[in-house]
A and B are shown apart, each in its own frame.
Chain A
Amino acid sequence: MTKQKLVIVGNGMAPGRMLENLFEKDRDAYDVTIFNAEPRVNYNRLMLSPVLSGEKSYEDIITHGDDWYAEHGVTLHKGARVAEIDRDAKTVTSENGVTASYDKLVIATGSSPFIIPLPGKDLDGVLTYRDLDDVEKMLDAAKRGGRAVVIGGGLLGLEAAAGLKMQGMDVTVLHLMPTLMERQLDPAAGFLLEAEFKRRGIDVRTKANSHKILGDDAGKVRGIRLDDGTEIEASIIVMAVGIRPSADLAREVGLDVNRGVLVGDDMRTSDADIFSLGECVEHRGMCYGLVAPLYEMAGVIADNLLGASSEYTGSVTATKLKVTGVDLYSAGDFSEGDDREEIVLRDASAGVYKRIVLKDNKIVGAVLYGETSDGPWFFDLLKKGTDVSDMRETLIFGQAYQGGSPLDPTAAVAALPDDAEICGCNGVCKGKIVTTIKAKGLTTLDGVRAHTKASNSCGTCTGLVEQLMQVTLGDAYNPAAVTPMCGCTHLGHDEVRRLIKSKELKSIPAVMQELEWTTSGGCAKCRPALNYYLVSDWPDEYADDYQSRFINERVHANIQKDGTYSVVPRMWGGMTSSKELRAIADVVDKFNIPAVKCTGGQRIDMLGIRKEDLPAVWADLGKAGFVSGQAYAKGLRTVKTCVGTDWCRFGTQDSTGLGIKLEKFMWGSWTPAKLKMAVSGCPRNCAEATCKDIGIICVDSGYEIHFAGAAGLDIKGTEVLGLVKTEDEAIEHVAALTQMYREQGHYLERIYKWAKRIGLEEIRRQIMDDEAMRVAYFDRFVFSQKFAQVDPWSERVSGKDKHEFKPMAVLTKEAAE
Chain B
Amino acid sequence: MTADIRNWVHIGTLEDIPREGARCVKNGDMTIAIFRTAKDDVFALEDKCPHKNGPLSQGIVHDGCVTCPLHNWVISLETGAAQGADEGRTAAFPVRLEDGRILIDLSYSHEAV
Interface residues of A (CB under 8 A from B): 519-524, 527-528, 546-552, 554-555, 559, 561, 563, 803, 807-811, 813, 815-817
Instruction: Given A808-B24, A813-B28, decide whether A520 and B52 contact each other with a Cβ distance below 8 A.
Output: no
**Chain A residue with the shortest CB-CB distance to B27:** A811
Residue of B25, B58, B60, B74 near A808 (CB, 8 A) is B25
Instruction: Given A547-B18, A547-B21, A816-B7, decide whether A811 and B26 contact each other with a Cβ distance below 8 A.
Output: yes
Task: Collect the chain A residues with CB atoms within 8 Å of residue B55's CB.
Answer: 559, 563
Cβ contact within 8 Å between A551 and B12: no
Cβ contact within 8 Å between A521 and B38: yes
Residue of A523, A559, A816 near B63 (CB, 8 A) is A523
Task: Collect the chain A residues with CB atoms within 8 Å of residue B16's CB.
Answer: 803, 808
Task: Collect the chain A residues with CB atoms within 8 Å of residue B28's CB.
Answer: 811, 813
Task: Collect the chain B residues with CB atoms within 8 Å of residue A813's CB.
Answer: 28
**Chain A min CB distance to B56 (Å):** 10
Check B20 for interface membership: any CB of A closer than 8 A: yes
Residue of B9, B20, B69 near A815 (CB, 8 A) is B9
Interface residues of B (CB under 8 A from A): 7, 9, 11-12, 16-21, 23-28, 31, 34, 37-38, 52-55, 58-63, 67, 69-70, 72, 74, 106-107
**Chain B min CB distance to A525 (Å):** 9
Instruction: Given A520-B63, A521-B38, A523-B67, decide whether A547 and B19 contact each other with a Cβ distance below 8 A.
Output: yes
Residue of A550, A563, A809 near B26 (CB, 8 A) is A809
Residue of B38, B54, B60, B63 near A563 (CB, 8 A) is B54
Instruction: Given A563-B54, A808-B16, A816-B7, decide whether A547 and B27 contact each other with a Cβ distance below 8 A.
Output: no
Instruction: Given A524-B74, A807-B24, A808-B11, decide whether A547 and B63 contact each other with a Cβ distance below 8 A.
Output: no
**Chain A min CB distance to B13 (Å):** 9
> 8 A–B contact pairs at CB < 8 A?
A521-B38, A523-B63, A524-B62, A559-B58, A803-B23, A808-B11, A809-B11, A815-B9
Cβ contact within 8 Å between B58 and A519: no
Cβ contact within 8 Å between B62 and A808: no
A555–B17 Cα distance when bound, in Å, is: 15
Which 9 interchain pairs have the tightest Cβ spacing? A524-B67, A808-B23, A547-B20, A551-B58, A524-B60, A551-B69, A809-B11, A563-B55, A810-B26
**Chain A min CB distance to B4 (Å):** 17
Max count, chain B CB within 10 A of own CB: residue among A522, A524, A810, A815: A524
Cβ contact within 8 Å between A808 and B63: no
Task: Collect the chain A residues with CB atoms within 8 Å of residue B54's CB.
Answer: 563
A548–B61 Cα distance when bound, in Å, is: 8
Task: Collect the chain A residues with CB atoms within 8 Å of residue B25's CB.
Answer: 807-811
**Chain A min CB distance to B86 (Å):** 14
Task: Collect the chain A residues with CB atoms within 8 Å of residue B21's CB.
Answer: 546-547
Cβ contact within 8 Å between A551 and B20: no
**Chain B min CB distance to A356 (Å):** 56
Cβ contact within 8 Å between B9 and A811: yes
Residue of A521, A551, A563 near B62 (CB, 8 A) is A521
A521-B37, A807-B23 given; name 10 further pairs at CB < 8 Å. Answer: A520-B63, A521-B20, A523-B62, A523-B67, A524-B62, A524-B74, A550-B69, A559-B70, A808-B34, A811-B106
A519–B37 Cα distance when bound, in Å, is: 14
**Chain B residue with the shortest CB-CB distance to A523:** B62
Instruction: Given A808-B17, A813-B28, A816-B106, decide whether A524 and B11 contact each other with a Cβ distance below 8 A.
Output: no
Task: Collect the chain B residues with CB atoms within 8 Å of residue A559's CB.
Answer: 55, 58, 69-70
